[in-house]
Copies of this chain bind each other. A is one copy, B any other.
Amino acid sequence: MVVYELSEEQTNKVFRALADATRRDIVRRTLHAEVSISELAASYDMSFAAVQKHVAALEAAGLVNKIARGRERIVRGQPDTIRHAQELLSSLEDIWRQRISRLDDFLADETP
């Protein structure tokens, strides 16, 4: 049930974007409800421009998108991209599980 393939470069961006507590918090908040950039900026101890850059990194990764509403930009989380990241991690776990089951087979063969 593979949905879409992310390029290596896109995958890098997704994980890179998630490797920062502020950005993870922005993702949480924008998945929970629609928030403007200035509302986000009010929450963090950094400049508006810094928050803007974090949102831009998340947008480039496809983890959020922005829509114009009046003079505000509403940031919305993109659950699909999170699912892509989950699928990649699941595929890693599958590799492990296959190894375990290979080991089980081996043991079943060797110890009759």
Contacts and interface: CB of A to CB of B under 8 A. Distances in A.
Interface of A: 8, 11-16, 18-21, 24, 27-28, 31-33, 77, 79, 82-83, 85-86, 88-90, 92-93, 95-96, 98-99
A27 B8 CA distance: 15
Nearest to A61: B19
Contact of A15 (B16, B31, B32, B83): B16
Q: Is the interface of A mostly helix, strand, loop or mixed?
A: helix
A105 B83 CA distance: 24
A21 B12 contact: yes
A24 to B, nearest CB: 7
A16 B8 CA distance: 14
